[in-house]
Structure 1
């Protein structure tokens, strides 16, 4: 039997405790779980690989084939096609780019590259800047919509974006690509991957350079961008049950931009950014493969150096941040009906900031974390998950987080019901909460979220319709105040809405995908801004892509993105009009290994504003070639 017990702990905190009777486990029949052949494997739900059909959380997967089909140049462009996600870019290519999941702030989106956290702890709110992230050697993007702090800890309030470089393959595979497009933009990328004996490896590099546009509206000088990226992965299979795992990612970029803290649209500030991610780990299985273990050390290191001819513009800076992390995660399959997941983690963060040549301000923080999760499959088609996590911060004390979800299919996956209750939290970043710029009175953000969803297949699996309702309430949301020039806690913010999508594949030659998102992200704190919408969160958004492959190999595709009105300030005085963007694309194989492609973006040359005062791209075209051998 399965029971849910509601009780209280730590004052008014509601705790969900999931109990599964051991005596019942002993008599449960061992179920045979039928998995659909195309059942996706996800890692963001539990930290370990599991079928997507066994989690109640809303997860979207964009694979390499889809990236090539869309011809998406940046990860931000990919995210715009995902329901529940909106993107705001300040200026052209490489400009600061924020992603908002289900109306949450950009700081509430946790970003991983090959499983390693890469959020910028030196930025004012710790948000990840998607402006530097291209798709050249990315193999897969997994987007979890909604909180999952039980597994991922701080910042996983809005969701988790896990970006993976191209993985090793059996045998040998090489990829090459080159393209040239509008605004004098050039891209090159190459990757090789393969397996030889006990070794599995993948290594690649990419380069992007663009003359760009003026970041701020009204400028006459162009703000260029250059980006070089390297990625490498290596697995050493010591035995069938023991593997060493090494991963690294490196990004170096030069961003020319305009700043309001200078001479405006024709300013000449430059930021030189560097990001490094390293992972060293081991995976080993015991007890006939039922006891899975992973131990790892990860390192995230970033540095930004800014220069500006204008003195005391605050664009001359030297910033460095680092995250060192040790983690042990385990999953034990007691039987086919019960899996236990647990983890222990230690993380140390460091930030150093210096403006206009002043002595650097240094801040540090440590956190020790532990979590446990139980996954139960009492009958065929039903999976129940519940978990708890506790984080002990050196600066902010302890934080306990709970979550649970269920998924049920009565007909082997043709119909899927999903439900989730999840809590999330975000501790203040070093720059938000520590001197000289931080506010020592800041409290961690917390959130409670529930969502209900259903997926239904039609036409013998050729069509799939899904809908998800979500409702999140955030307390002590951290936001920057232009009055105090510090971050402050907003008492309450709610975000609720609906995600609807349709995937239609009437034949192997035609692929149609559409999604609509309704988001109400509202400030519920008393005062002048009560009832106002959160900045840069459009209430309505719609995405449609259609791709058709002809009998002789030519592929034609089109995209439509419609973004509704939004506001660019807390007072809701600066309205941003909605807009629609249309794109066309085509590709043609020349032989089994080589194809050429082209695309036109913003085909109707729409004049639109994403962030007040900043420029956006007009109509531009790109042509390219890619090879796979």
Structure 2
């Protein structure tokens, strides 16, 4: 049981925030009935055909969930697997797909580590203190999001500042040497809004290894985890048509975990008496400019992410890894007719690994989507549809075209929704799979690997029975 203390500072001055500043620079402002992931633009949730789950900050606070694995554990269609205790490697398997078949975004920037052997995202070290909203979109989504989105997309949106200046702090403590602290400053003044937060989560003695698995006389080593996360989100409304934004996040983690030892004489495995130390530093930042020119609403973004990891294994020594990603993207939307919105986008991404080898891949992509809404198509019936096509050109494996279609039929009188989606997905080989050998683990790179591909669909009926 965690016990907490919450301190809050009231406003120091009467500050105001215009409505336009709240949706600045392409950063989505959470709304109960609107989602952004399904179509890459704000869309009423009742017009979304794909299966989607929305979790907001109120849900997280009510359940006292301190880490991302805790938040995602009960989401339908996800199987979350975590090794060890707090901070341990955590992967999700969406609708039976692999752990590297889910695209993860943080404030619009891909957050996976290019130096991971299979490119899978580690959810275990993500502190939930500054999360405003999570949208989990299931099914193949490469028609809008490209590689990795075979199983779906997890879109994490962090909190923004608004209103008068507010200063808050929390402190919690509990069993297993667990401590959790955070501090936040947020607010807005005229056209400027800001938020900065610092969070610390420590779990120093989590008992993971069952005692009956230990060899006689061997003492159990409890898992250790310590994480410090700093984040900020800024926005400035330059004019009525132009605003700028910045979101940044830094995480520094230290883990000590118990692995397995192997006795070659008996072929038996047992918990190792020594622990592996894992040091991880990660950065994720994105700057945006949101510009409205006539009927064209567009956003230009520049993002950078980096992860540096050092695994110190008692048996194999230090295993360093370093990878980063640079991305430039543009997206525009235009209402071409009543109920018809065209979304166009282009992006270029450079993924690279630097330790223990140096290699990189560039991907250029363009996509288009037509979002259509026909209220009253026939009396009492609304029809909504989304069609998207995306083309990726990769410097290593060449071109790949994917697509997605998602219609919805809504019957007003009975409050019934019939919806379906069908799409194609693909997963590009990771840089490690292409270029890096690990002879000690019998792993050898293959530069001739091609992308994995898939197609998937779902059909559903939503019916309100009471209320």
Fold in common (TM above 0.5): yes
Check whether the contact 1:93–1:212 (CA below 8 A) recurs between aligned residues.
Answer: no
- The corresponding residue for 1:377 is 373
1:233 matches 2:262: no
Secondary structure of the residue that 1:367 maps to in structure 2?
strand
Check whether the contact 1:39–1:53 (CA below 8 A) recurs between aligned residues.
Answer: no
Pairs within 5 Å for 1:239-278: 239-260=239-260, 264-278=271-285
Pairs within 5 Å for 1:180-579: 180-213=173-206, 215-217=208-210, 218=213, 220-260=220-260, 264-287=271-294, 290-308=295-313, 310=314, 313-353=315-355, 360-380=356-376, 381-411=382-412, 414-436=415-437, 437-460=444-467
- Where structure 1 has 5 or more consecutive residues not aligned to the other structure, the ranges are 1-37, 354-359, 461-629
Task: Evaluate the alpha carbon distance shift between residue 408 and residue 221 of structure 1 in structure 2; reply closer, same or farther with a 3 A threshold.
Answer: same
Measured against aligned partners, the alpha-carbon deviations of 1:229-266 in whole angstroms (never above 9, x if no partner) come to 01100011112221101110111000111234789432
- The corresponding residue for 1:108 is 101
Measured against aligned partners, the alpha-carbon deviations of 1:367-421 in whole angstroms (never above 9, x if no partner) come to 1101111111133431111111110111111101011101221218932221101
Check whether the contact 2:209–2:222 (CA below 8 A) recurs between aligned residues.
Answer: no
Q: State the distance in 1 between where 2:338 and 2:176 align.
A: 56
Task: Evaluate the alpha carbon distance shift between residue 147 and residue 93 of structure 1 in structure 2; reply closer, same or farther with a 3 A threshold.
Answer: same
Query: Shift of the alpha carbon at 1:205?
Result: 1.1
Query: Shift of the alpha carbon at 1:39?
Result: 5.4
Check whether the contact 1:252–1:273 (CA below 8 A) recurs between aligned residues.
Answer: yes
Pairs within 5 Å for 1:572-611: none
Pairs within 5 Å for 1:30-69: 40-69=33-62
Task: Evaluate the alpha carbon distance shift between residue 230 and residue 347 of structure 1 in structure 2; reply closer, same or farther with a 3 A threshold.
Answer: same
Task: Evaluate the alpha carbon distance shift between residue 444 and residue 315 of structure 1 in structure 2; reply closer, same or farther with a 3 A threshold.
Answer: farther
Measured against aligned partners, the alpha-carbon deviations of 1:110-133 in whole angstroms (never above 9, x if no partner) come to 111111111122111111111101
Q: State the distance in 2 between where 1:236 and 1:452 align.
A: 42
Task: Evaluate the alpha carbon distance shift between residue 44 and residue 247 of structure 1 in structure 2; reply closer, same or farther with a 3 A threshold.
Answer: same
TM, length-normalised to structure 1: 0.63
More contact order relative to length (CA 8 Å, sep ≥ 6): 2
Secondary structure of the residue that 2:282 maps to in structure 1?
strand
Q: State the distance in 1 between where 2:387 and 2:164 align.
A: 40
Task: Evaluate the alpha carbon distance shift between residue 435 and residue 225 of structure 1 in structure 2; reply closer, same or farther with a 3 A threshold.
Answer: closer
Q: State the distance in 2 between where 1:300 and 1:174 align.
A: 28
Secondary structure of the residue that 1:257 maps to in structure 2?
strand
Q: State the distance in 2 between where 1:171 and 1:332 align.
A: 34
Q: State the distance in 1 between where 2:163 and 2:415 align.
A: 32
Secondary structure of the residue that 1:458 maps to in structure 2?
coil
Q: State the distance in 1 between where 2:275 and 2:190 align.
A: 53
Task: Evaluate the alpha carbon distance shift between residue 131 and residue 212 of structure 1 in structure 2; reply closer, same or farther with a 3 A threshold.
Answer: farther
Q: State the distance in 2 between where 1:216 and 1:446 align.
A: 38
Secondary structure of the residue that 1:69 maps to in structure 2?
helix
Secondary structure of the residue that 1:378 maps to in structure 2?
strand
- The corresponding residue for 2:4 is none
Question: Which of 64, 67, 70 lines up with 1:74 in the alignment?
Answer: 67
Secondary structure of the residue that 2:238 maps to in structure 1?
strand
TM, length-normalised to structure 2: 0.84
Query: Shift of the alpha carbon at 1:214?
Result: 5.1
Q: State the distance in 2 between where 1:163 and 1:261 align.
A: 37
Q: State the distance in 2 between where 1:200 and 1:154 align.
A: 34
- The corresponding residue for 2:25 is none
- Count of aligned residue pairs for this structure pair: 412
Check whether the contact 2:144–2:403 (CA below 8 A) recurs between aligned residues.
Answer: no
Q: State the distance in 2 between where 1:176 and 1:191 align.
A: 6
Check whether the contact 1:277–1:301 (CA below 8 A) recurs between aligned residues.
Answer: yes
> How large is the Cα RMSD of the aligned pairs?
1.8
- The corresponding residue for 1:619 is none
- The corresponding residue for 1:596 is none
Query: Shift of the alpha carbon at 1:225?
Result: 0.6
Check whether the contact 2:250–2:284 (CA below 8 A) recurs between aligned residues.
Answer: yes
- Where structure 2 has 5 or more consecutive residues not aligned to the other structure, the ranges are 1-30, 215-219, 263-269, 377-381, 438-443
Secondary structure of the residue that 2:275 maps to in structure 1?
coil
Check whether the contact 1:108–1:157 (CA below 8 A) recurs between aligned residues.
Answer: yes
Q: State the distance in 1 between where 2:125 and 2:37 align.
A: 23
- The corresponding residue for 1:35 is none
Check whether the contact 1:140–1:164 (CA below 8 A) recurs between aligned residues.
Answer: yes
